[in-house]
């Protein structure tokens, strides 16, 4: 589990990290510092103290910041620096964080532990957690629409549109509904592999794909370049989810930093449960290969994104 530990604690005690993990750590540091300054600025403008504190708990609790990494390195393909991509990267992280805060609620996944710390509802209470999520979603759209946002007004409106669609009823939230429907209502007693792939594509894939496309928008990509990044993002999202499922099936709570084995305990249908671990890993490998293929048009510049895809195959090793 050494690599997993490094991923969950990239600035921790593990010194012998790969160049990729250094890049991941650097972009995480950058986005965390930016988010801290945004929250401090918002607080200075009058956020009620209880909400301000709970927002910091939700946003500044570490994490890999994988989606911001994708924004940075997609934008970098077109020469855009991290500074330019920062509002878009931070906005994606706000959406991701809000989804975790709401997912953890007793009425949803009922999780008390997240990244080794109490979840927001556990540290505060349910109503605070609901409102923290609501405020984070608004903050995401504030960050990319304002004059400090990434790109010109046209790019900013496009970023908002992309993020809103990816996170809404036909994206992340839709996937979460399908997931909870299956778990709580037994609405799909015999889900097919296609059902599960669709659920995961919505719940996890849409936001990961959006990260790559938002980088493309920030960088001013052509239509073809953006389409290539979208294809990459879709395969990466599939790989991400299946590697997550493998971690859940095989990992221990201490290594992963959150409760594990929950899918099985909740009777949730996963690709692993349906395919078996060996076939699931073959599907993972195919997704990684297809994702890397899509990056071919960018040549060597795409190395960080190629590495991100390869990492998915090593997360459970």
Binding track over 87-126 against a second copy, x by CB under 8 A: -----------x---x--x-xx----------------xx
* Other CB atoms within 10 A of residue 65 CB: 25
Is 214 a binding residue for a second copy by CB under 8 A? The answer is: no
User: Nearer Cβ to a second copy, position 77 or 210?
Assistant: 210
Instruction: For the CB of residue 237, give the shortest distance to a second copy in the complex, in Å.
Output: 17
- CA–CA gap between residue 274 and residue 287 (Å, rounded): 17
Q: Looking only at residues 186 through 205 of this chain, which bind a second copy when binding is defined by CB under 8 A?
A: 187
Residue 236 structure tokens = 């990466």
Q: Which of 48, 79, 267, 276 binds a second copy (CB under 8 A)?
A: 48
Which residues are CB-contacts of 181 (< 8 A; sequence separation ≥ 6)?
187, 188
**Selection from 76, 70, 68 nearest residue 30 by Cα:** 68
Neighbours of 166 (CB within 10 A): 24
Is residue 108 a contact partner of residue 100, using CB atoms and an 8 Å limit? no
Task: Report the nearest approach of a second copy to the CB of residue 257 (Å).
Answer: 24
Binding residue for a second copy (CB under 8 A) from 63, 68, 171, 257?
A: 171
Sole window of 19-27, 58-66, 151-159, 209-217 interacting with a second copy (rule: CB under 8 A): 151-159
Place of tokens 């969950």: 8
Q: Does 298 bind a second copy (CB under 8 A)?
A: no
Residue 195 CB neighbour total at 10 angstroms? 15
For 243, 290, 316, the CA distances from 230, given in Å and listed in that order, are: 20, 12, 25
Q: How far is the CB of 225 from a second copy (least distance, A)?
A: 20
Binding site for a second copy (CB under 8 A): 42, 45-48, 50-52, 55, 98, 102, 105, 107-108, 125-128, 130-131, 133-135, 137-139, 141-142, 145-146, 149, 152-154, 156-158, 160-161, 163-165, 167-171, 173-174, 176-178, 180-181, 184, 187
């Amino acid at each position: 589990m050494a690599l997993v530990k490094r991923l969950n604690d990239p600035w921790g005690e593990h010194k012998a990290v790969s160049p990729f993990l250094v890049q991941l750590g650097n972009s995480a540091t950058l986005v965390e510092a930016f988010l801290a300054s945004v929250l401090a600025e918002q607080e200075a403008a009058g956020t009620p103290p209880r909400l301000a504190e709970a927002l910091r708990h939700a946003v500044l609790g570490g994490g890999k910041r994988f989606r911001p990494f994708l924004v940075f390195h997609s934008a970098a393909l077109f020469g855009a620096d991290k500074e330019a991509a920062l509002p878009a990267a931070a906005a994606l992280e706000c959406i991701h964080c809000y989804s975790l805060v709401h997912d953890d609620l007793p009425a949803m996944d009922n999780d008390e532990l997240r990244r080794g710390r109490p979840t927001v509802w556990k540290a505060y209470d349910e109503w605070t957690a609901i409102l923290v999520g609501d405020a984070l979603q608004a903050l995401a759209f504030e960050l990319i629409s304002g004059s400090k946002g990434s790109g010109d007004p046209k790019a900013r409106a496009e970023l908002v549109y992309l993020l809103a669609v990816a996170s809404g009823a036909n994206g992340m939230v839709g996937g979460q509904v399908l997931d909870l429907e299956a778990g709580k209502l037994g609405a799909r007693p015999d889900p097919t592999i296609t059902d599960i792939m669709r659920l995961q594509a919505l719940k996890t894939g849409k936001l990961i794909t959006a990260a790559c496309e938002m980088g493309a928008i920030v960088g001013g990509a052509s239509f073809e370049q953006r389409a290539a990044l979208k294809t990459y993002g879709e395969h990466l999202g599939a790989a991400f989810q299946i590697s997550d499922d493998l971690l859940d099936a095989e990992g221990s709570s201490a290594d992963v930093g959150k409760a594990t084995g929950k899918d099985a305990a909740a009777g949730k249908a996963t690709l692993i449960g349906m395919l078996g671990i060996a076939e699931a890993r073959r599907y993972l490998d195919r997704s990684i290969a297809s994702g890397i293929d899509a990056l071919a048009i960018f040549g060597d510049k795409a190395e960080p994104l190629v590495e991100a895809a390869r990492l998915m195959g090593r997360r459970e090793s």
